Amino acid sequence: MNDNFEQLVNALSITPLSIDILSKLTLLIEQQTFESDPLFISQSIQSLLVLENWAWQRLSYDSHQWISQSSYLTLFHTLSSFNKNLIINFDNIEVETKALLLISCTVDQVNSIFEGINQSNDDNDRFIAIISVWFDNLAFFINEDPQFDTSPIIYHINQYIGRNYVMTDQFKFYLTQLQQQTNLPKSIFTTKQLFYIKICSLSLSSYLAAKAQNFLFTAEEILHHVGNQYLQIINIHSHTMESWSDELLICMTYLTAFICGCCWWGGEKNNSRLMRINSYQPFYEVIKSEQSSNVLILIDVILQFLLYILQTQNMICFFRSNILSPDILLIIAENSSCDKLSLYAYAVLSEVLTDEKLKGLKVTDSICNFLFDILEQGW
């Protein structure tokens, strides 16, 4: 199979490029995504690097020549799924190898991609949809392995995003759309809007949370630009979770992650709104699932942020006065299929409650069982 893969990758340099080559590559990458075989990566690293380089080159050059061809689109989406799987499931692959494959573009290619986004007049441009998935992978990788935030490419991408997308009137316009009181029309959630709200927010939140140095703007400047609108959005929609669309859930999740990434927030009202979101009962069924979802990401972000506030601000009295907080946190801790979510919930509980109340809740056995389960899995 490795020889076949190498031959297919080498054929990418042949002009004109055969549709059959693209289809065979797609099937092979799809198979490897499903099998998650680390041996394939270790034995095919050079061919994979050639493929990743080719993909970035095509994404950055004359996209109008291939954007309408389904064989190209399918290959790009399949390769992006392979890359996401590489980040999540290949723990036995060195992170340096992952970085080599994932961050295999040049500054010129990134600039060309951004230029393509800026020149697009189509709010649902398929090119922006594909690029969004690729930048999503880069941001997710930095979130998982923050030491690579010093990469010149990651630095350049986030400086550009901060200057040209987030700190702009266009970003504020998209936030204004989310401030509507009634059910938001599906038509506002365009590909370009989600690129701004989800991808740019995710990229910057991952980058800033990694303690990035020499960023163009301070956290205070960013939040002066978007903070008040975010407050309005969360104030409006924390009362209407039952009517959230998938798109609104995405926006709420990644805007909240962005605010948390800036490491700045304050005020008791905001904390109660975040707890209100966490208390939404239909979410509890979702957190039992082992599948990753925007609900899991949203609750994870909120818990991280609440823990950050408790450890850096004098907010313990507020949390202790909210009698529902322990119940909400316990439900999350004891029902989540995600170990990290449970750990955050227990951590917040340990910060909020006095020793007497912790004993009164009788969570000791639950915590012990949880920790033993983790040790057993690690063993």
The Cα-based distances of 8 to 3, 79, 307 in angstroms read 9, 14, 49
pLDDT in tens, the chain (379 residues): 565 899 999 999 988 889 999 999 999 999 999 888 889 999 999 999 999 999 999 999 888 788 889 999 999 999 999 999 999 888 889 999 999 999 999 999 999 999 999 999 999 999 999 999 999 999 999 988 989 988 999 999 999 999 999 999 999 999 999 998 777 899 999 999 999 999 999 999 888 877 666 788 887 788 889 988 988 898 888 888 888 899 999 999 899 888 877 754 333 444 555 666 666 677 667 777 666 677 777 888 778 777 766 766 555 655 555 545 677 777 887 777 777 777 888 888 877 777 776 666 555 556 666 666 656 655 5
- Whether the model clears a pTM of 0.75, i.e. scores above it, the answer is yes
User: Is the CB of residue 247 less than 8 Å from the CB of residue 186?
Assistant: yes
Nearest to 325 by CA among 313, 336, 310, 314: 310
DSSP calls for 201-256: HHHHHHHHHTT-SS-SS-HHHHHHHHHHHHHHHHHHHTT-GGG--HHHHHHHHHHH
User: Is the CB of residue 76 less than 8 Å from the CB of residue 59?
Assistant: yes
